[in-house]
């Protein structure tokens, strides 16, 4: 395996040895040394794969084939947008998922954070309860919820009991109308605790004096929240929104475990579809093109978010 040395090293030509005798030179070396492990890993596992994926997406490379790949220009991209209804459906599903999950999960996380951000007995227990799903493996969570959603599962039994048998629920995961919704619910439940902790960290940076001052001015709880808490949480909000967006767009495990993209493609997502095309159907070139489209889309969305939430100073 050949390793491209970090490009930074290239900027220090033969003079390096001479420079090395100066304090500044030594610092450069020390800096490079500290960067080396992360730098090499990043190049190997991030930069090179990205370049490879970019190259592959213009070929008809197969996962398994005795024939060498050949360049096909923009064929893969054209195919994705004009001749692949499942891809378009996957893109739409992914977008829909993010559209619901981002505001709901961020809002719910904030609500929980505000609730557990007080000094009273038992608050730690609540924090732990909300946080448990986050540290549970998402695969395990997905399998459990698949059982819950079964026609004769816990959720339907509950509905049946509450409505006194008037409605006994439905086959949530096998109904195109409800499958994505079911996955949205479990995804929010699983990850909301993580963002609750982030919000909580943000809440604890707001100085207590501000609240005292607000109380002196006669502000009620709502007014305190709007005028003190919310402005103080601005940087946290940006972080929470961007992280939720990126992870929501990358939805894969729940789909892979629970529905495999079905029923009738209603839960297929871009990442799931790329994996299916690339590995199960062995079309690596096409899967790379899908990944590239995904990469560009996420980049654009993240940049737009940054713009919208930037400090207006």
Partner 1 sequence: MRRTVPAFVAAGAIGALALTGCGQAGQGSTTSEDGRTQITMWTHSAGNPAELEVYERIISDFNASQDQYEVVEESFPQGAYNDAIVAAAASGDLPCLLDLDGPIMPNWAWAEYIQPLGISTEITDSLLPTAVGVWNDEIYSAGYWDAALSIFARESVLTENGIRIPTIEEPWTAEEFTTALQTLKDAGYETPIDIGAEDTGEWWPYAYSPFLQSFGGDLIDRDTMLSADGALNGPEAVAWGEWFQGLFADGLASTSGTVGNQEFVDDEVALSYTGVWNALASVEAIGDDLVILPPPDLGTGPKIGGGSWQWAISSTCEEVEGAREYLEFSFQDEYITEFADKQIVIPATEGAAEASEYFGPDGVLRPFVELSQEYAVLRPETPAYAVISTTFETAAKDIMNGADVQRTLDRAVDEIDANIESNDGYGF
Residues that bind partner 1 (CB under 8 A): 1, 3, 20-21, 26, 29-30, 32-34, 36-41, 44-45, 60, 62-67, 79, 83, 85-86, 150-151, 171, 174-176, 260-265, 276, 279-283, 286
Ramachandran quadrant class, 260 (left: phi over 0; alpha: psi -120 to 50; beta: rest): left
Which of the 8 DSSP states describes residue 5? P
Nearer to partner 1, 86 or 206 (CB): 86
Instruction: Give least dist CB 44 to partner 1, A.
Output: 6
Report, in Å, the least distance between residue 256 CB and partner 1. 10
Q: Which residues contact 285 (CB under 8 A, 6 or more apart)?
A: 56, 57, 58, 59, 60, 61, 62, 69, 72, 76
183 neighbors 255 (Cβ within 8 angstroms) = yes
Question: Rounded to the nearest 10 degrees, what angle do helices 123-135 and 85-116 cross at?
Answer: 160
Min separation Cβ 189 and partner 1, Å: 21
Cβ–Cβ < 8 Å for 15, 31:
no
Which C-beta is closer to partner 1: that of 20 or that of 81? 20
Q: What is the largest CA-CA distance in the chain?
A: 85
Residue placing its CB nearer to partner 1 in the complex, 181 or 263: 263
Would you say 21 or 118 has its CB closer to partner 1? 21
Residue (127 or 276) nearer to partner 1, CB: 276
Token pair in block for residue 227? 């005028």
Closest approach of Cβ 251 to partner 1, in Å?
18
Angle between helices 75-82 and 284-308 (to 10 degrees): 70
Q: Measured from the CB of residue 98, what is the shortest distance to partner 1 in angstroms?
A: 24
The position carrying tokens 């609240």 is: 211
Cβ of residue 3: shortest distance to partner 1, in angstroms?
7
Is 160 or 171 the residue whose CB approaches partner 1 more closely?
171
Query: Rounded to the nearest whole angstrom, what is the least distance from the CB of residue 183 to partner 1 in the complex?
Result: 15
Q: Is the dihedral of CA 156, 161, 163, 166 positive or negative?
A: positive
* CB closer to partner 1, 114 vs 170: 170
Nearer to partner 1, 41 or 303 (CB): 41
Residue pair 299/250 in contact (Cβ under 8 Å)? The answer is no
271-to-247, 249, 251, 278, 291 alpha-carbon distances in Å: 11, 8, 7, 10, 7
According to DSSP H, which parts of the chain are helical? 7-10, 16-19, 23-42, 48-56, 75-82, 85-116, 123-135, 138-148, 154-162, 179-203, 208-216, 221-224, 230-232, 234-249, 253-258, 270-275, 284-308
Minimum distance from CB of 14 to partner 1 (Å)? 14
Q: Report in angstroms how near the CB of residue 164 gets to partner 1 at its nearest.
A: 21
With 0-12 / 13-18 / 19 or more C-beta atoms within 10 angstroms meaning exposed / middle / buried, residue 6 is middle
Nearer to partner 1, 64 or 120 (CB): 64
């Amino acid at each position: 395996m050949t390793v491209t040395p970090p490009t930074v090293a290239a900027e220090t030509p033969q003079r390096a040895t001479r420079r090395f005798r100066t304090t500044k030179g030594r610092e450069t070396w020390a800096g490079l040394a500290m960067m080396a492990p992360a730098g090499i890993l990043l190049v190997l596992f991030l930069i090179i794969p990205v370049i490879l994926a970019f190259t592959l997406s213009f070929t008809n490379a197969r996962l398994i084939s005795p024939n060498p790949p050949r360049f096909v220009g923009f064929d893969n991209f054209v195919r994705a947008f004009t001749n692949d209804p499942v891809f378009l459906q996957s893109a739409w599903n992914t977008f829909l998922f993010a559209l619901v999950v981002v505001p709901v999960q961020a809002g719910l996380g904030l609500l929980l954070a505000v609730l557990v951000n007080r000094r009273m007995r038992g608050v730690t227990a609540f924090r732990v309860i909300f946080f448990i799903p986050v540290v549970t493996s998402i695969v395990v969570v997905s399998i459990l919820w698949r059982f819950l959603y079964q026609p004769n599962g816990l959720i339907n039994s509950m509905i049946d009991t509450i409505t006194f048998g008037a409605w006994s629920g439905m086959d949530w995961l096998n109904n195109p109308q409800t499958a994505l919704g079911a996955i949205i619910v479990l995804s929010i439940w699983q990850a909301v605790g993580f963002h609750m902790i982030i919000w909580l960290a943000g809440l604890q940076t707001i100085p207590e004096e501000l609240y005292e001052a607000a109380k002196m001015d006669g502000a009620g709880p709502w007014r305190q929240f709007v005028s003190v808490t919310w402005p103080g949480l601005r940087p946290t909000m940006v972080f929470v929104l961007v992280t939720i967006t990126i992870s929501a767009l990358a939805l894969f495990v729940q789909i892979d475990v629970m529905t495999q993209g079905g029923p009738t493609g209603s839960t297929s997502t871009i990442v799931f579809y790329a994996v299916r095309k690339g590995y199960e159907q062995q079309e690596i070139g096409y899967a790379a093109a899908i990944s590239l489209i995904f990469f560009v889309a996420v980049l654009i969305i993240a940049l737009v978010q940054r713009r919208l939430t930037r400090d207006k100073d």
